[in-house]
Amino acid sequence: MGLYLNPNANAFEDDKNTRIYIDKSLVIDELNKLVSTKEDFVCISRPRRFGKSMVGNLISAYYSKGCDTREIFSQMKIGHVPEFGKYLNKFNVIKLDLNELYQNANKKGEEAQLISQIDRRVAEEFKMQFKNVRFSEEDNSIDQCILRVYAETGEKFVIIIDEYDVLIRERVPQPLFDKYLSFLNGLFKGTTIRPAIALAYITGIIPIVRDKVQSKLNEFTEYTMLRPRQFAGMIGFTKEEVKGLCEKYDMDYDECLRWYDGYKMSDTVSVCNPLSIVTAILDREFDSYWSTTGSFEVLRDYILMDFEGIKQDVIKMISGESVPVNVLKFQNTLESVNSRDNVFTYLIHLGYLAYNRADKSCYIPNEEVRIEWINSIEDSADYKKIMEIVNTSKILLDDTINGNEEAVAKALDAAHSMVTNPLTYNDEHCFQSAICLAYFYANTRYTLIKELPTGKGYADLVLIPFLPNIPALVIELKHNKSAESALQQVKDRNYCQALEGYYDNLLFVGINYDEKTKEHSCKIERFVKG
């Protein structure tokens, strides 16, 4: 048993003893299906705060010969899987937290020796644990030690590397990076060492970098934010898991999802980031906890890039829209963030955006992340007018609730002119985006639903309150007609049908946009049950 070779289960036990712990042990069942196959090299990339390290601790505790974890795993979900013990504590595990190793070396000014230090420390543990193996003086690296043990004993290894991409993200000096490439090459390339590895499991924030380490890691199958496959719900909290926590700790489930849900991993799986969920429950408060692990400056650096279409798309996404994105061109390097599509793809991997594979679009996933987007543009001259709309959106909402039709119309005039360009000013979709942005503050009081099926059609925009004593709103939009006709459509098509629970406090809002005058008109009526 060592720190890196065949570690004990202490880290896993500490995780499991935390006040809030979600059993993710079924990830082992999926990995067991891959052990000693052509698919046994696994790379999982997720944003910070998604629980990658905790899953790594769990995997290590399951496979490592350095501990006996049968009793604890038998009581978890994996314990109910047939043959759950097939590989339990059966492999020599090498577990490296590359970020921790790099940061420690960096503090001491020894980052240039990082790779040689890793090799030396693990090689020393090999020679301590395998006393019957005849190591030579040349067996001073991890790959050489693996080959020596495998040749003499036939024992296989599981390699776990957390944050494999830290040296790429930190943009370390080229000599250190070249040593890292040689390190990866020794561990994962070649027909000689491949049979000695039963499973390789590496994690990172960004997927495998195609123009830097692809050749060293081309045998890995990637499971990313764009294509998570069978691991879709294994990292991050699923809605079912969040619902169970909300019930246990008496928290509002719908409000929790509004703040932290939105990462659509597949047609059936959507996940929330675990750290924010846990913090919100322990603090008994829904808030943005994103900044505890990152800075909005990272986001700002990219969305302020002067690539065609970024500004208009940022405005649309802040107002709740999705925008199309081509994720296929991104090379997974910071240097390849050189276009609108690559910026948005990179932000998907960082968790600032979510991806809908069905229609190949991206969007801001939830309220917590939306706050970070607002923080990132707040002091930017490029987005000054947009921030004016955001900051005055509370007044617009108050005017709407108070029936101040003229003030609402003028506010929408300003919003429409700011968020569109001359070529798209009269586009109906841009009109709807402008309305959503103008009502930005409503996101703190309402759930905004576009095209809600109700009555004999679809209501353009419905605001359902999640706070008491404020009215629900049905907003109908018209082009080149009249605000009165918009109101009449709401009544004729019975759009209030889906809002029966709000009949005692429900407003109808009709808005018309005139292309010739570029002005809006507004009519507001309170619903009266007939």
pLDDT above 70 (res 363): yes
Encode pLDDT of 63-107 as tens digits: 999 999 999 999 999 999 998 999 999 999 999 999 999 999 988
Of 332, 358, 379, which closes a domain?
Answer: 379
Between strands 263-264 and 270-272, the pairing is: antiparallel
In a domain, 5, yes or no: no
pLDDT above 60 (res 425): no
CA dihedral 9, 14, 18, 23 (to 10 degrees): -10
Cβ-based burial of 486 (10 A; exposed 0-12, middle 13-18, buried ≥19): buried
Task: Identify the pLDDT of residue 385.
Answer: 78
In a domain, 479, yes or no: yes
Residue 58's CB is within 10 A of a number of other CB atoms, namely 25
Q: Token pair of 361, please?
A: 């679009």
Residue 41: strand, helix, or coil: strand
Assess whether 44 and 98 both reside in one domain: yes
Assess whether 281 and 305 both reside in one domain: no
In a domain, 491, yes or no: yes
Buried residues in 203-235 as b, exposed as e (16+ CB within 10 A): bbbbbbbeebbeebbeebebbbbbebeebbbbb
Q: What is the CATH number of the domain that holds 463?
A: 3.40.1350
Assess whether 192 and 220 both reside in one domain: yes
Give dist(CA 299, CA 47) in Å, integer: 13
Task: Identify the pLDDT of residue 4.
Answer: 96
- Overall average pLDDT of the 389-411 stretch: 92
Task: Identify the pLDDT of residue 168.
Answer: 83
Of 316, 345, 379, which closes a domain?
Answer: 379
In a domain, 4, yes or no: no
Assess whether 68 and 176 both reside in one domain: yes
- Overall average pLDDT of the 140-153 stretch: 95
Which of 467, 322, 483, 454 has its CA nearest to residue 397? 467
Encode pLDDT of 114-139 as tens digits: 999 999 999 999 999 999 999 988 88
Q: What is the CATH number of the domain that holds 360?
A: 1.10.10
Assess whether 434 and 359 both reside in one domain: no
pLDDT above 50 (res 204): yes
The residue with greater pLDDT, 230 or 420, is: 230
- With cut-offs at 50, 70 and 90, classify the pLDDT of residue 424: very low
In a domain, 389, yes or no: yes
Assess whether 218 and 95 both reside in one domain: yes
In a domain, 3, yes or no: no
- With cut-offs at 50, 70 and 90, classify the pLDDT of residue 422: very low
Which of 397, 430, 417 has its CA nearest to residue 524? 397
Assess whether 280 and 154 both reside in one domain: no
Weakest-pLDDT range from 3-12, 208-217, 234-243: 208-217
Assess whether 115 and 224 both reside in one domain: yes
pTM of the predicted model over 0.95: no
Assess whether 223 and 265 both reside in one domain: no
Q: Is 157 left (phi over 0), alpha (psi -120 to 50) or beta?
A: beta
* Domain count within the chain: 4
The residue with greater pLDDT, 232 or 416, is: 232
Residue 450: strand, helix, or coil: strand
Q: What is the CATH number of the domain that holds 216?
A: 3.40.50
Of 379, 401, 426, which closes a domain?
Answer: 379
Weakest-pLDDT range from 231-235, 304-308, 362-366, 507-511: 304-308
Give dist(CA 287, CA 404) in Å, integer: 31
Percent of the chain whose pLDDT exceeds 90? 59
**Residue 508: which domain range?**
382-526
- With cut-offs at 50, 70 and 90, classify the pLDDT of residue 211: low
In the sheet with 157-162, reading across from the earlier edge strand, the strands are: 92-97, 157-162, 197-204, 41-45, 221-223
